[in-house]
Amino acid sequence: MKLKKMAIGVSLSVAAMGVSADNPKQNNEEYIAFFDHTLSIEERLDDISARLTDKEKGNMITLWNEGVPRYGLKSFMPGEALHGLAAPRNNAATVFPQSIGLAATWSPETMKRMGDAVSDEARAQYHNGPVIRDGKRGPLTFWSPVINIARDPRWGRTQEAYGEDPLLNGVMASAYVKGLQGDHPKYLKTAAGAKHFVANNEEHNRFHGNADISEKQLREYYFPAYKQVVQEADAQIVMTAYNALNGEPAVTNTWLIKDILRGEWGFDGFVLGDYGSILMTTKGWKDRGFRGHDIYDTYVDSAAAVLNAETLDFDNTRIFRDEAITAIKQGKTTSEQLDRAFRNTMRVGLRLGMFDPEDMSPWKDLPFDIMTTFKPLALELAEKSMVLLQNEDIDGTPLLPLDKSALKKVAVIGPNANTLNFGTYSGTPRNPVTALDGIKDYLGSDVEVVYVPWQGSNNILSAIPMDNITLLDTQGMGVWQADYFNNRGATGQPIASNNVGDIDFNWTGSKPHSDIKDNNSYSVRYTTSIVPPQSGLYTLGFESLGANVTLNVNGSTVLRSHGDTNKRLPSTVEIELDGEKTYELELYSMRLPRAKGHELMFGWQLPQVNSAHAGQELAAAKEADAVIAVMGLSTDYERESIDRIAEGLPREQTDMLKGVVEANPNTVVVLQSGSSIESPWLKENIPAILQSWYPGEQGGAAIANTLFGDNNPGGKLPLTFVKSWSDLPAFNDYDISQGRTYLYFDKEPLWAFGHGLSYTEFAMSDLKLKSGKVAKDGHIDVTVTVENTGKKAGDEVVQVYITDMFERSEKPKQRLKAFERVSLEAGESKQVNLSIDVNDLAYWDEKTKGWMLGDKYEIRVGNASDNILLTETIKVE
């Protein structure tokens, strides 16, 4: 097909090109094959690739730029949809439970329906929402879901993941991706992005960390969920991690991206790095206040490196728009490499229909007012995510569900009772329901609800007294050591050092030290060591103006602020400190360019020992028929950039509960968290414990419905609750065979992977295999009968594990290989049929560099990893 040169020198929209579903050549406009939707995607890419300059291609694969005006091409818009539409947040959208709670549903069918709902809202916003920027109404490409496996509860982003098991992770993520992308034969509904590839499990060193992992464990544990999402769900986007894998940053790791992702798995979408990750391979990145991999001398070299490695196709900074073009001109990379990245990205845009007439979109008529209308589904998912950890008898009867008719007064207490923790990457809900709201709405005027507000810190910070500082000067006084740098990243050797008694400075119009050359480009590092005066929950914090500030405790980042050039910002974090331990503190203040000034104050607030609210809660507990204590964590303790630094509940919460449960044994604890709560004391002393995760906008209604029996909890733990972090390997040890997850954990758990109780009882029987033998290329067909032997309708999750009945290296205790959530009326029974591909039983043999099958396996069926009820063996021939 012969193409003509474009002779029109004005910006053209697709409609102005004369392109329609009926006749792409109408109105005598020049025929441009790229806009001809009747052609194949590759033919269309051939056309546009031949037309655009390198600079224009760079614009199309870089966020937030003009695109290519002369062809009316708008650049891609970023989006987040981790547990609901979260971009842009000024448009209200339905907020579903956080990912870890979604995993606790063990219900991929419901996950897919959630994906359908989120993509409905995305399309409604894209077609009919208000213009956000550059003529765009909303994104169709999403950097979700997170499928990094939750191998350690200390990871701050455990809440964003789907648990510790590869199969559960892959099945749940794949179901969501299928819902997001839709099943239209021609167009993607949205494009989903799996992140962060791979082994991104530490926040304190997220920019510069290195994960040493054998190929065996990558293949068996860290890769499977990504592979399933790519091959089964056809995810269109993959985001690489900040960290290095076996010494090579993920963004330049050819083996990881080109050989595995594209070569072995057949991925043909586009790959992007986590925000700024290309820059972080550059040595000069430290000058911006971050730590990176320090490999390449300039951004031009970094741009050339990722293109030559054939890893990244899309850039979320400006490096493909600018530095990549310079690299091509300097001969460090080629136009062909840029074109490869451009085609990979544009291929996804064409599948979305971004460059076809909008009236061809199957979703063009979804009204904008569909936003926030999926509240029933949000409630259903929240209810399904509830995990009943414990339900002991009180006077011969399980405490839960609470009997509304037997109650006159209920006390509702705890830090999470009247607040909603949505978790990270959440959108903006409309009319969300807190636990207190849900309980009040459920009980109405029939039962008195006494709410005791949680009295948190008063946000008054004071300097750490010298008596508590163990770094002493020559006079024996407790001090901070201040190190000064002539760069913004606190890198290299300090140009000067001195001691200060506390941190409360205003350098506006001056500089911290006379040896600093430039008032606008410097940084200061403060270090000291302290012994707290008592054990408890402290508030550490700073106020800053004109600086990027980071606080580390014992080498882990606990608080970070990117600062503001115009106003003073407060930042605080609550942290458990032991009065018998020494803590190393580091505070970095890195000057922002063009800031109006530079101010910094640091301090702490002591734990509240005999706070007023404790007395109020005890009094309320004594007078109430039942106590509902909504406890747990929040994003103050766990989130992106902040790993957890203390296990279990904050001590302040445990101390309060000790008095409450003694005053009223009818105490229910509702836990909200994005990871496990390691508290043997809770298990030993609290009769009823409900894990509600971060349950989304309808969380309060779901909690109330569960506590009072309208919802029979059927959720199961997607990760092991250990008794103590001391039972775990080192945080930075990625070798799971050393006692990590239910696969290899060799201690008694607090609650096991797959655990979850019900208000009814179930029995499993009649485990049958289609045959006692199976071919290597066959399937294992498993049937089991599940019966609800109790008096209340409920859900049970049939979990099928396998154990290798032969010797091999790094053999796990058992592996989850199939599961199904089953709903049963009281007295009802169902036969559940499950199928396992024999190839899924294989293990990676490092000697042959290939997959191997054993000859004999045990099929283990139960309702938790530690409650196996039925077993059979099968031979593979």
Nearest to 233 by CA among 341, 164, 144, 343: 144
Dump strand ranges (E) for 775-854: 779-788, 794-804, 815-824, 829-837, 843-845, 850-852
HSE-up of 876 (CA within 13 Å, CB side)?
A: 23
CA–CA separation, 725 and 718 (whole Å):
18
- Can you read off the two tokens belonging to residue 200? 């991104």
CA–CA separation, 96 and 116 (whole Å):
13
Task: Map tokens 């995810």 to a residue.
Answer: 235
Question: Count of CB atoms within 10 A of residue 451's CB?
Answer: 17
- Catalytic residue, chosen from 274, 301, 437, 483, is 274
CB 529 within 8 A of CB 583: yes
CA–CA separation, 526 and 503 (whole Å):
8
* Beta-bridge partners for 571: 542
Query: Is 234 annotated as catalytic?
Result: no
Q: Could you give the dihedral angle defined by the CA atoms of residues 313, 314, 317 and 323, in that order, rounded to the nearest 10 degrees?
A: 40
Task: Identify the helix (H) or strand (E) that includes residue 824.
Answer: strand 815-824
User: What is the crossing angle of helices 108-128 and 166-181, to 10°?
Assistant: 30
State how far the alpha carbon of 813 is from the alpha carbons of 352, 755, 806, in Å: 44, 17, 12
CA–CA separation, 23 and 47 (whole Å):
18
Residue 502, SS3? coil
CB 342 within 8 A of CB 310: no
- Can you read off the two tokens belonging to residue 843? 């293990």
Task: Identify the helix (H) or strand (E) that includes residue 448.
Answer: strand 448-451
Check whether the bond before 196 is cis (ω within 30° of 0). yes
What one-character-per-residue DSSP string does 703-759 give? HHHHHTTSS------SS-B-S-GGGS--TT---GGGT-HHHH--S--SB-TT--B-S
Please report, for the chain, how many H helices and E strands are present, in that order: 18, 35
Q: Provide the sign of the torsion angle of the four alpha carbons 806, 807, 810, 813, taken in this order.
A: positive
Nearest to 78 by CA among 114, 122, 20: 122
| Pairing, β 856-862 against β 850-852 | unpaired
What one-character-per-residue DSSP string does 633-692 give? --TTTSBTTB---S-SS-HHHHHHHHHHHHH-S-EEEEEE-SS----HHHHHH-SEEEE-
Question: Count of CB atoms within 10 A of residue 397's CB?
Answer: 8
Task: Map tokens 């923790």 to a residue.
Answer: 421
- Can you read off the two tokens belonging to residue 338? 């840029």
State how far the alpha carbon of 516 is from the alpha carbons of 89, 359, 488, in Å: 41, 61, 11
Task: Map tokens 């940084």 to a residue.
Answer: 523
Nearest to 314 by CA among 254, 261, 273, 278: 273
DSSP annotation of 439: H
CA–CA separation, 313 and 412 (whole Å):
52
| Residues carrying an active site annotation | 274
